[in-house]
Amino acid sequence: MRLEKYQNVQDGRLKHAGHDYLELAETYGTPLYIFDEASFRERVKGYQQAMETPYFETEVLYASKALLTKAIARLISELGIGQDVVSAGEIFTGIHNGVNPEKMYFHGNNKLNQEIRYAIENNVGTIVIDNRMEVERVNQIAGEVGKKQRVLLRLNPGVEAHTHEYIMTANLDSKFGESVFDEAIDTVIQRLATAENLNFAGFHSHIGSQIFEEASFYKAATELLTFSAAVQNKLGIKIEEINFGGGFGVYYTETDQPFNVVDFLPNFIEHVHAEAVKLEINLKKVTIEPGRSLVNASGSTLYEIGDLKHTAGGKDYAFIDGSMNDNIRPALYQAKYEAMVVNKAEFPAEKTYTIAGKACESGDKIIENIELPELTTGDLLLVNGTGAYNYSMASNYNRIPRPAMIHVIEDKHYLTVKRESFEEMMMREI
């Protein structure tokens, strides 16, 4: 397993910023989500600095679908970044933990009327319109609330992103956004610009997730800017902001080769500026919406090894006390992970295991065919790269309680999400 810079092996055991994983397990139990706060802070600040430019205003918006807790929301507020939200629940969590709603961008392909009203009444800064029907609903509700709502239009530029089918968001048949190739797109934009209760500011696009090719982002930027110039020239509508979304790829296993986002962003901003000048677009603001690339490497999950099984077919299973309930990604996306036995960090890898969970599903496998030291019941297994889309997609399937989460910051660690109890699973049931 590739170690993060906050991890090291000492006295034969893997440690997190000097904290022994065995002691963390004794204190908080397992399964346990562990979030390294210092590396998250460093990454956010790196993105912010890399976006700085004299050409136009820039802003980093955290895509909170990747991971959102009260503690994460407080960090968003403290670090001064914006928040990309996709539901009233994410808006509520942000507002009630210090996030400025003016710095929120509300996304979603089927926002409910009550969510739109909640957003407008609570001063959410920008609503990203997904489709032509939504234009009328947001305009009407804004009028009823008595506000003029700032909006962007999500465009689908048809840029092919080489990633998993489920996380491609800009192919021609995507459920997200209005296609730039649709004959009626001009009509949609004209309506946005003339709606009495809307302030149309520009466009948004997000071409997908886990993208490892810088060229995909440059191509999307060129397409969006070229389209924006056509809109200005043909319709006389000024485009002040372009939101380029997120999707920067991250490392899970050695087959992943992500580019350095902090190195990429200044060059990307220069490209956007140069294209805007060439096309005579007076951009006022450029935004991005990273999620996974900000939190994933900061997160890991600690499990205890339970029973071991050798099948008649020759497969060796090691069962963990977690399951697809705390990490659905391998079952949903065929996601791959690396892991280490923290109490045997210097033991040689001499056996091939499939790490499987305790859920009643044959597909509940976290890692297949991983080389590890000989395992025994009670060993602790750490899976890296679980900061994004693990806790946020967790469930109670099989009535399995969701794990606890802790934050580690230098010489301290503290609980941010309590381990769910059986009683808490039934609290809303009658």
- 131: three-class secondary structure by DSSP: coil
According to the annotation, is 46 in a ligand binding site?
Answer: no
Residues catalogued as catalytic: 360
According to the annotation, is 150 in a ligand binding site?
Answer: no
According to the annotation, is 420 in a ligand binding site?
Answer: no
Q: Are 357 and 366 in contact (CB under 8 A)?
A: yes
Buried b (16+ CB within 10 A) or exposed e, 214-243: bebbbbbbbbbbbbbbebbeeeebbbbbbb
**Sign, CA torsion 322/324/330/331:** positive
Q: Are 127 and 116 in contact (CB under 8 A)?
A: yes
- 78: three-class secondary structure by DSSP: helix
Reading the block at residue 287, the tokens are 């935004």
According to the annotation, is 214 in a ligand binding site?
Answer: no
According to the annotation, is 333 in a ligand binding site?
Answer: yes
Query: What is the spatial distance between Cα 138 and Cα 289, in angstroms, rounded to a whole number?
Result: 22
Comparing CA positions, the residue from 260, 255, 252 lying closest to residue 300 is 252
According to the annotation, is 247 in a ligand binding site?
Answer: yes
Q: How far is CA 17 from CA 32, 37, 175, 298, 346, in A?
A: 17, 11, 42, 12, 18
According to the annotation, is 290 in a ligand binding site?
Answer: yes
- Residue ranges at the known binding site for pyridoxal 5'-phosphate: 247, 289-292, 389
Query: Which residues define the annotated binding site?
Result: 247, 289-292, 329, 333, 361, 389
User: Which residue positions form the known binding site for substrate?
Assistant: 292, 329, 333, 361, 389
